[in-house]
Amino acid sequence: MDYDFDRENKKKLIMKVIREVFIWALEIAAVILLAYFIVHYTVEKTDMVGVSMEGTLYDGDSIVINKFSYQFIDPRRFDVIVFKQSGKEHSYYNIKRIIGLPGETVQIKDDNIYINGEILEESILVEPMINYGLAEEEIKLEANEYFVLGDNRNNSEDSRFASIGNIRREEIVGKAFLRLSPFNFVDKLNLIPIKSEE
């Protein structure tokens, strides 16, 4: 009885092709999952819309959002955040700076921002506010709420106004991390120059 070597070789070849196709399919699936994870949980690109953050960010600036860091830490005062409010008239991403943290009381009067009755010392260059909006009276933030302002204080729709109001934690997409052109870290922009001691 003769042994069919051709049949055996074809069987090995078919098994090799099946194994390679399977490995190839696994690699494609891994790349798709990695891309999904990066886009939905780590970084995303958006553009600044409007003039409300001028001095720091300008209309059309491309921004990289760090969506990953807030999975482990809470947003901090002065972080520039990207948020999207569901059920509000705007459906696009908003970019503002955190001023008040959960549980705090915020009030704006006499050209100053008060947090729990103490004047807030800011580290960014901003103009004095003309319109204090709802913050002319004390605003008590709930356990999951943040009070935000635009850096262009007199041309910003922010937590001072009912159309935006306080931002809930779940509405925060992430931290505005990088400005792409000209390249810089967002938290390094528009800072008050440090006076050198003579």
Residue 175 host element (H or E): strand 172-180
Residue type, position 146, single letter: Y
Q: How far apart are CA 159 and CA 166, in angstroms?
A: 5
Q: Where are the beta strands (DSSP E) in 84-156?
A: 94-100, 105-109, 112-115, 118-119, 139-140, 145-149
Question: Could you say which DSSP state residue 51 is in?
Answer: S
Matching residue, tokens 């901003």: 126
Please choose, from the candidates 173, 171, 191, 188, the residue with its C-alpha nearest in 3D space to the C-alpha of residue 88: 171
Q: Is 52 a catalytic residue?
A: yes
Distance CA 143, CA 121 (A): 23
- Of 52, 67, 159, 175, the catalytic one is 52
Looking only at the bridges linking them, the beta strands covering 118-119 and 145-149 are: unpaired
Which residue out of 67, 96, 156, 175 is catalytically annotated?
96
159 has catalytic annotation: no
- The single-letter code of the amino acid at 98 is I
Residues noted as catalytic: 52, 96
